[in-house]
Structure 1
């Protein structure tokens, strides 16, 4: 079987992550990111579940995930996945959105899966420039063109639909964000929300697309990434964000990001040399 290969590059000029997965078989369990993801499927077929919608992914598809969009995928053709992607923080995207069309509000991209040869060509060009370490102006121009195309075709003003127990669910999210490094029990979250276990689980999962525990794990991984980017060791990062078991942290990190905590830290160590 073809060996899984993963390559990740952090671009200091654009402040974005570019990565490529080749020969991947593993599924990615339900999770979300705190940043925007723009991906492109090179080869393979996958079944994607995103925000209660089901998609059949084929080569040429572009994937658009907004911060907080819960999603999971698994191979559906018996083959392997070749995939390239870009990660952009909210702050970075907002700067480029403003440069592209003067907007001062973060967009919501929709739909999550598109087939667009013009946008795909721009995405591939930018991705190759970043992965190759290009230093020329073409890199910035490619990113600006990509954001312009996405905004024109798929950008929408953010909507905030009301849902049952919205106030209680947001209170639980704030509680988790403030105390993610501590041991947090479901009973604590229920007391915070003033809801029963079953009511909280139903309301939270429907609103966020993940369970409260999975939300906590995602927050911890997001905070761990920030520490690893600063050069903190994986062992120390695991403890600082609330993982008591190093192997649990490593396995979880690898399952959701496709690489180990140490490999992720090395990306940023290389850029500082």
Structure 2
């Protein structure tokens, strides 16, 4: 096995992301106690389920319901895929629904890349982001995949709530250097996390985690100009490491923190 990784967080029970990268490995007949949402990144994956054998080229989705027996193997010399597992009992709370979705009728549905892209963002958030970004990416992906492929009805947009979103904005401004979780914000304003994200995006054009990152980058510019080093700034503003700080800074400014300091000094 070349580079398999299982990503999980203790404060996000019942949710795991498996990044598989293997050659020649085969998985015997088994099942999971969770919904599985996957996408082939490279090569061709394969498995047997419901009496059929499937070959999945790169870009193909792979969806599985809980307790559905299946096998797994590589159809090509090497296969890379991402698979999100979410325990069945966790879905109603995560989706903000009283009932579970119907489940996946088709195992390998055609998709325009949105779910695969969401899995890629979620994988990056698992490894490099804080709780607010990770939870936001997770809820967005679950809503998307179950509406598109799991029989879940899309929820109509809730009415605007300027007072609530303004309070959340002020809270993020005041706590921009601290670890803020989506569950924490939702409890403070007594809204489901998904409803909070939707209302905040309507009010400010971006979800809360993007707003928080933008605020940190603005503060980072000020601190870098005051002669703090990029390492000091990253630690002081709550980034998980300097690499995450540098990537985020460049995402919003087009340059790295070091380049910004040098350009400002000229």
TM-score by length of structure 1 reads 0.51
CA contact (8 A) 1:24 1:82 kept: no
Equivalent residue pairs, number: 150
Residue in structure 2 matched with residue 195 of structure 1 by the alignment: none
The whole-number CA distance in structure 2 between the counterparts of 1:12 and 1:30 is 29
Residue in structure 1 matched with residue 29 of structure 2 by the alignment: 30
Residue in structure 1 matched with residue 130 of structure 2 by the alignment: 135
CA contact (8 A) 1:44 1:59 kept: yes
Residue in structure 1 matched with residue 8 of structure 2 by the alignment: 10
Pairwise CA distance, 1:107: 3.0
Residue in structure 2 matched with residue 94 of structure 1 by the alignment: 92
Change (3 A) 1:23 1:92: same
Q: How does 1:87-126 map to 2 (within 5 A)?
A: 87-97=85-95, 99=96, 102-116=97-111, 117-126=113-122
Pairwise CA distance, 1:12: 2.5
Pairwise CA distance, 1:103: 4.3
Residue in structure 2 matched with residue 145 of structure 1 by the alignment: 140
Residue in structure 2 matched with residue 45 of structure 1 by the alignment: 44
Pairwise CA distance, 1:110: 2.5
CA contact (8 A) 1:46 1:56 kept: yes
Pairwise CA distance, 1:60: 1.1
Residue in structure 1 matched with residue 78 of structure 2 by the alignment: 80
The whole-number CA distance in structure 2 between the counterparts of 1:91 and 1:38 is 16
SS at match of 1:30: strand
The whole-number CA distance in structure 2 between the counterparts of 1:38 and 1:14 is 17
- In structure 2, stretches of 5+ residues that fail to align are 153-266
Which protein has greater RCO, CA pairs closer than 8 Å, 6+ apart? 1
Pairwise CA distance, 1:58: 0.5
CA contact (8 A) 1:22 1:83 kept: yes
Which deviations, in whole Å up to 9, do the C-alpha atoms of 1:179-228 show, x marking residues without a partner?
xxxxxxxxxxxxxxxxxxxxxxxxxxxxxxxxxxxxxxxxxxxxxxxxxx
The whole-number CA distance in structure 2 between the counterparts of 1:107 and 1:138 is 28
CA contact (8 A) 1:38 1:65 kept: yes
CA contact (8 A) 2:25 2:73 kept: yes
CA contact (8 A) 1:25 1:81 kept: no
Pairwise CA distance, 1:14: 2.8
CA contact (8 A) 1:40 1:120 kept: yes
Residue in structure 1 matched with residue 195 of structure 2 by the alignment: none
The whole-number CA distance in structure 1 between the counterparts of 2:73 and 2:150 is 27
SS at match of 2:18: strand
Pairwise CA distance, 1:53: 2.9
CA contact (8 A) 1:24 1:81 kept: yes
The whole-number CA distance in structure 1 between the counterparts of 2:118 and 2:45 is 23
Root-mean-square deviation (Å): 1.9
Runs of 4+ in 1 over 4 A off after TM superposition: none
Pairwise CA distance, 1:48: 1.9
The whole-number CA distance in structure 1 between the counterparts of 2:54 and 2:21 is 21
CA contact (8 A) 1:41 1:61 kept: yes
| 1:68 aligns to 2:92 (yes or no) | no
- In structure 1, stretches of 5+ residues that fail to align are 158-273
